[in-house]
Amino acid sequence: MITMRGLTKRFGDRVAVQDLTLDVAAGKVTGFLGPNGAGKSTTMRMVLGLDRPTAGEALVGGRPYAALRRPLREVGALLDAKAVHPGRSARAHLLAMARSNAIPARRVDEVLEMVGLTAVAGKRAGSFSLGMGQRLGIAGALLGDPRVLMFDEPVNGLDPDGVLWVRRLMRSLAAEGRTVFVSSHLMSEMQQTADRLVVIGRGRLLADAPVADVIAGSSRNAVRVRTPRPDVLAARLAAEPGAEVTRSGADGLVVTGVPVERVGLIGHEAGVPLYELSAQEASLEEAYMELTGTSVEYGVTGR
C-alpha cells in the first residue's frame, strides 16, 4: 500500500501539491489522473524520495522509501523511460540495477522476456524507439518482483498491441495482490484498466473513488426517451426533484437527474407509450473534463 498524509510540495511561491491525503490499496489498479501541471509526477517523485515534501509524508508499506534497505525489491517504478545510459545495452542496464539491490542475474533475462525485449537485449538503449524504451522501463520496474508498482504514462509510444499488453499486465499484477498506481492521459484506456481513480487538479484532490462512481457523478449521464406524447411526459418529469428535461426532435426527450427506472415508471403511471427508453452513460473523459474544468493550468482560448 502507498499512504499519503497531508502531502504538500512548494517550489518557491508555487504550490505543486496541496495537502494530499489518500491510500493506494493493494489488489487494485489505481489510475492517477489530472491535467498537465496538476502535480502527478511531483507526487510520484515524493513517494519515491526523489523530491522532499514541504509538509506531510508519503509511505510505502508503512515506511518512507529512503528507509527501504533494498527498495527495488519492494517498489518498482517507471517515471521516465529515457532515464537510461544510452551507451548501455538493455541487459547491461538491468544487470546494473539488479546488482545494486542483490537481485539474481537470472532475473534480468526473465523480465526481458516478459516485456518482449529478449531479441534486442544486447542493443544499446540509445538506439531504442520510444515504445522499446517504455518496455525497458517496465522491465526495470518488474526487476525486483516488488509488491508496489508505479508507472507514469507507461503506454506512451506503444502501438495498439503494446497498449493492450500493458493493460493486461496491469490487471494481472493487481490480481496477484500488488499495489498498482498508474498515471495516464488516455481516458479510454484508464476506463478499461483502472478499478479506482485518483483525480487531482492544481495539486488538490478532486476525486478518489471507483471508476463507476466517478462516471456516475457526471451530469452528462442522461436518459433518452421517445414517445408520441412528449409534452405530457415532459410535464410529469419536470415535477421530479433535480430533473432537467430538454426536447430532442419531434418526439424525443433527454432527461438528466432522474434514473432510467424512474423515468419508465413515470411514463407508465402517466399512460404514455414509450417508443424508446435508454440510459446514456457518460464516458470517463466527459466525467474527467467536468471534474477538472476549472483546474486546467495550461489551457488555450479561442478557436
Looking at this protein, which amino acid is placed at residue 69? R
What Å distances lie between residue 75 and 8, 83, 178, CA to CA?
21, 17, 10
* Residue at grid coordinates 419531434: 250
Under the banding of pLDDT at 50, 70 and 90, the label for residue 281 is: confident
Rg for the chain (alpha carbons), in Å?
24
Backbone angles phi, psi at 203, to 5 degrees: 80, -5
Domain 2-209 adopts which CATH fold? Rossmann fold (3.40.50)
Helix 106-114 crosses helix 90-100 at what angle (to 10 degrees)?
A: 130
Question: b/e per residue, 61-86, with b = 16+ CB within 10 A?
Answer: beeebeebeebbbbbbbbbebeebee
List pLDDT tens digits, range 151-197: 999 988 888 999 999 999 999 999 999 999 999 988 989 999 999 99
Average pLDDT over residues 112-141: 94
3: which strand partners?
23, 59
pLDDT exceeds 50 at position 300: no
Question: b/e per residue, 32-42, with b = 16+ CB within 10 A?
Answer: bbbbebbbbbb
What does pTM read for this prediction?
0.85
Nearest 5°: the CA angle 133, 137, 139 is 115
The pLDDT mean for the chain works out to 92
197: which strand partners?
31, 209
List pLDDT tens digits, range 35-58: 988 999 999 999 999 999 999 999
Considering only CA atoms, which of 240, 250, 257 is closest in space to residue 276? 250
Q: Which is more confidently placed, 55 or 292?
A: 55
List pLDDT tens digits, range 86-110: 999 999 999 999 999 999 999 999 9
184 SS3 class:
coil
- What is the pLDDT, as a whole number, of residue 272? 94
Q: Please, are residues 170 and 29 in contact by the beta-carbon 8 Å criterion? A: yes
Percent residues over pLDDT 90 in the chain: 81
208 SS3 class:
strand
CA pair distance 33, 55, nearest whole angstrom: 22
CA pair distance 185, 171, nearest whole angstrom: 18
* Residue at grid coordinates 520510444: 130
